[in-house]
Chains A and B, each alone.
Chain A
Amino acid sequence: MDLLQFARGPGLAISVAVFVIGLAWRLYRIFRHPAPRDFSAPRRSPSWPGGLRAVFSKMLPPGGVKIRGAQMLNAYGYHIGLALVVFTFAPHIAFVQRYTGLHWRPLPDPVAFIATAVAILGLLMALMYRLTDGVQRLLSSFDDYFSWFVTLLPLLTGMALIERPYYPVPSIAPALPTVPVLLAIHLLSLELLLIWLPFGKLAHAALVFVSRWRTGIDFARKGAAV
């Protein structure tokens, strides 16, 4: 078994299993705790629309509160960049289709290339803020730096793979790159991200919904602002 076979086979299976089981464990750590009933008379009922509202409204900058504008703009940049490159780049859709059968229409290559550049620059800026901003430096731990590293790595290894146009898609299974080991390294970097995600701050990809929902319904009950 060569490196690519490992990355496409056991490596991927193990990392996906760790990702799924790890995320389930992370959520279990939360949901195993009691949720005492709230007997106060609600100002608004039902309160679940408040949960839904909070999930979406918290995607926007808060009103009336000063924001760290540059950092927030940068965060939008690399989140959107990451989403575009993961979900709209033709080879990534082909990858998903190979394993699940699911597929959707990709966007032209330049979109993914620009998105990757934005994401990489954004992550570099994010690291700069974390190292130079007094508040972020104080709050930061190994988790923050390692999570940054495992997020950046697939972007860099993916950039090393680009060698020809991928869109329009000539066939759903793109040919192997000239240097297959680069694809193996790219896949392994993704697998490292999947393995780490449930255990560090990257789990916010899932926890963001739990946390905003919780606050949304609690505060909607009171008619309070989120």
Chain B
Amino acid sequence: MTPPDFDFPGRGVERPAVRYDKQGELTDSERVERAMQAFARDTTRTVATYLESCIRCGHCAEACHFYVASHDPQYTPIWKLQPFRRLYKKKKITAQELRDWQELIYDSCTLCGRCTLACPMGIDIAGLVTRARHAMFAAGLVPHELHAVAERAEREGSPLGATPKVLKERIEWLADEHEVEIALDRPQADILITLSSIEIMKYPASLVALAKILNRMGASWTIRSDGYEATNFGLLSGNSDWQREMSLRMIQAAIVCKAETLVLPECGHAYSALRWQGANMYGRPLPFRVLHISEFLAEAVRAGKLPLTRLAGSITFHDPCQISRRGGATSAPREVLAALGADLREMPSAGDANWCCGGGGGVVTVHRADDHRHRAFELKMAQIDATGAEHLATSCSNCRLTFDDGQAHFQWSKQMESLLELVADHLAPRAA
């Protein structure tokens, strides 16, 4: 039995601009049918609770950087779910509605979850958008660039072409260039290090930093060419099978080398994908711990395994949404910065309520979203400028990439740095 349709959306309201990509040669009815089936599969008790509970108060709007940057009501987070609320209620939707909503589901949601903080009903809107992406992927309605990198990750094992061969070559080059031993494919190790392809291809100094720190700690560690890529575009694009496959590679590699701890790289959604969803993809609890690199560093600092020198000057820290707000690891980077003796100048609403950089959730890959993303980035710049801090650090390479893009776009004076690299640069000299 389905209830009468009392919640048809407001009439006379401007619909989102028509701008969409598509995959496959499906008919409209096939796309709708696939979206319906995917969304029905995803409708758990939690999803149903959320879709039943919205009171349309609109408080989530003020929490969304894409709304605040535009003041366009269509960017109200819960509105991004409108067709999917109708799917849940077994109401008819059209392929055109799905196409119209592509921009709202992909281009203008970073899955940052700030709206969840604002929702008086506690609805996890970002979690619902993730489900909506599954439906959009099934319907073949994913932005072209995001689909392309996700498909490449599935085909080559890495979204940016950091194949095992490229990884080996990079490691050989970096080890030689920096005179540091980078452990690769050791048959057994206590710690399995995983990487983000953004680090491998754009910020390779991160690999050197990792090696310096782990070697200094005397840790038993390795990178494995059969499971190194933590970036998970299956999650971002909305393909659960690809997400599972990427996660299982790392899980199997950790099991093969009998790792006790799997350390995730400076990558936000990699943390969501493996720390919080990995075991569910595996179907049972993981036989090893999963830590973000900032948590690993904080543990090492706490255990006295990481003597550091003082970081000169003031610094502010940008919290990656998936690690802090949605991941629960907000304190870890601050412990590390405290160990560095840093003059930490927190941004307004730092920590759990931090503004997103605007590039998460795959948005940075979608070029048609650049204008809106840059406007949202202005919020971030204002937050950072307000601190007056000399340095700026984060623990997510995707955030770093977004900041580099924003810096170039606005010719901004601030340069984003990596927390991991800062630690490596401030390792105390060995006692004689």
Contact of B353 among A199, A207, A223, A225 (CB under 8 A): A225
Contact of B123 among A62, A75, A199, A215 (CB under 8 A): A215
Whether A36 and B121, one on each chain, are in contact in the complex, defined by CB atoms closer than 8 angstroms, is no
Q: Which residues of A contact B114 (CB under 8 A)?
A: 65
Cα A33 to Cα B3 in complex, Å, equals: 17
Q: B-side interface residues toward A, CB under 8 Å?
A: 3, 6-10, 13, 43-50, 52-59, 61-63, 67-68, 71, 73-74, 76, 78-79, 114, 116-124, 275-280, 282-286, 289-290, 325-330, 349, 351-353
Q: Contact residue range for chain A?
A: 35 or more
Closest 4 CB pairs of A and B: A64-B353, A223-B328, A225-B352, A39-B279
Whether A33 and B47, one on each chain, are in contact in the complex, defined by CB atoms closer than 8 angstroms, is yes
Q: Which residues of B contact A170 (CB under 8 A)?
A: none
Closest B residue, CB atoms, query A140 = B10
Contact of A133 among B58, B117, B123 (CB under 8 A): B58
Whether B56 and A144, one on each chain, are in contact in the complex, defined by CB atoms closer than 8 angstroms, is yes
Whether A35 and B63, one on each chain, are in contact in the complex, defined by CB atoms closer than 8 angstroms, is no
Closest A residue, CB atoms, query B113 = A224
Whether B45 and A33, one on each chain, are in contact in the complex, defined by CB atoms closer than 8 angstroms, is yes
Contact of B62 among A26, A38, A65, A139 (CB under 8 A): A65
Whether B44 and A35, one on each chain, are in contact in the complex, defined by CB atoms closer than 8 angstroms, is yes
A residues 68-119 in Cβ contact with B at 8 Å: 68, 71-72, 75
A200 at the interface (CB under 8 A from B): yes
1/0 per position for A24-40, CB-CB distance to B under 8 A? 00100111011110111
Contact of A39 among B44, B284, B352 (CB under 8 A): B284
Whether B57 and A71, one on each chain, are in contact in the complex, defined by CB atoms closer than 8 angstroms, is yes
Known A-B contacts A58-B120, A67-B62; the reply to A214 vs B46 at CB < 8 A is yes
Whether A211 and B10, one on each chain, are in contact in the complex, defined by CB atoms closer than 8 angstroms, is no
B379 → chain A, closest Cβ, in Å? 11
Query: Could you give 9 example pairs across A and B, Cβ below 8 Å?
Result: A30-B49, A30-B52, A135-B73, A135-B76, A137-B13, A138-B79, A141-B6, A212-B121, A224-B352
Q: Which residues of A contact B329 (CB under 8 A)?
A: 223
A204 at the interface (CB under 8 A from B): yes
